[in-house]
Amino acid sequence: MNKYYTRACNFYYGTVSKTYIKKKKSVCLNGNNQISFDKIEIINRKKNKIINVKDISKLSTKLKNKVNKDLKNIKKKKTFKTLNLSHIPILMGVVNLTPDSFSDGGKYNKKNLAIKHVDNLISDGAKIIDVGGESTRPGANDINPRKEWDRIKHLLKILKYKKYFVSLDSRKSFVMEKASEIKINLINDVSGLKYDPETINYLKKTKKPFVIHHMKGTPKDMQIKPSYNNVLLDIYDFFENKLKYLRKEGIKHNNIILDPGIGFGKNLKHNITLLKNISIFHSLGLPVMLGLSRKRFIKDISKENDTKDRIGGTVSSCIQAYLQGVQILRVHDVKEINQAFKVFKELQN
């Protein structure tokens, strides 16, 4: 049985997008008239073809029904709690309270430095603060849940009194339970909710919003020769199957974000394929998030000596994601990324 996938493509932006939508020459992406498209790519595991949206009616009945169903998800306005997804990208600022994270390990471990860093991220334009106490860099070992909690609890207790949208970057239900006693708006579990069997029960009980993140393997082994039959379609199927499982388990709400997991069990070719075709995930009907900040693929592409910053590569890959309608970007350098988008969007108008 051939399974078909629908990817929006051939995008327009800013003033051009608004004009084309009014003239019915293009279709609004995610309810946002700043980005629209007039073509779709129809994909299966053997072949693909690109057609104009206006030619969908010429497809066979079965394929036409499938594409129209996907198109409905691609076009519809996405909502997520208090976040305004009509003004994208939403920047998620990273706060690693770890000694060994790949980019900023140990930098904000003192309480006063962490608080100052969070306040700076917000003033620089972050709408979400993602707090983590365990490194999930390639090769990282697991740590004890209590140790992880001890690293983040003081900052979270302070954030309880600030009106910030706080995300918890953790794989452990113990840490999630402890954080929920204080204040937490989002669960960001990089394991795809599979590390801790109790996580699903926690999410069902609390009805907390969460991210479904794709990772092949574990941080310890994920970069040891990762392979896929088709990285784009395999990850799409992973999300689709995970959503079916969650619905079966009784999680019915739509406050769910999809993160294909750039760099988590992917080589350079996998990462590039995902970034070039990231708009395929809009047909699942949920917001899409990407963590591109300072990732190794930037070094691999640029052939430059390693650097902790990699800001140039982060900016360019974030803009590539935005150009396909990705709603949320997880970044370290909020000020620089925010500035880049202010300039880029003005130039589009």
pLDDT tens, position by position, 25-35: 999 999 999 99
One domain for residues 70 and 96: no
80 in a structural domain: no
One domain for residues 68 and 182: no
37 in a structural domain: yes
One domain for residues 37 and 112: no
What local confidence, expressed as pLDDT, does residue 103 receive? 52
Residue of higher predicted confidence among 188 and 136? 188
Active site residues: 295, 330
Q: State yes or no: pLDDT of 220 exceeds 90.
A: no
| pLDDT band at residue 232 using 50, 70 and 90 as cut-offs | very high
Q: State yes or no: pLDDT of 106 exceeds 70.
A: no
82 in a structural domain: no
Domain end residue (candidates: 75, 109, 136) = 75
Q: CA 209, CA 186: separation in Å to the nearest integer?
A: 5
Give me the number of domains the chain comprises.
2
One domain for residues 202 and 227: yes
Encoding tokens for residue 284? 């699942």
| pLDDT band at residue 107 using 50, 70 and 90 as cut-offs | low
* Residue range(s) defining the domain that contains residue 31: 5-75
Q: Could you tell me which of 5, 14, 2, 17 has the C-alpha nearest to residue 71?
A: 5
Q: State yes or no: pLDDT of 255 exceeds 50.
A: yes
- Which phi and psi angles does 59 have, rounded to 5°? -75, 165
Q: 3-state DSSP call for residue 299?
A: helix
Query: Among 3-12, 18-27, 138-147, which is the least confidently predicted range?
Result: 138-147
Residue whose entry in the numeric block shows the structure tokens 């129209």: 68
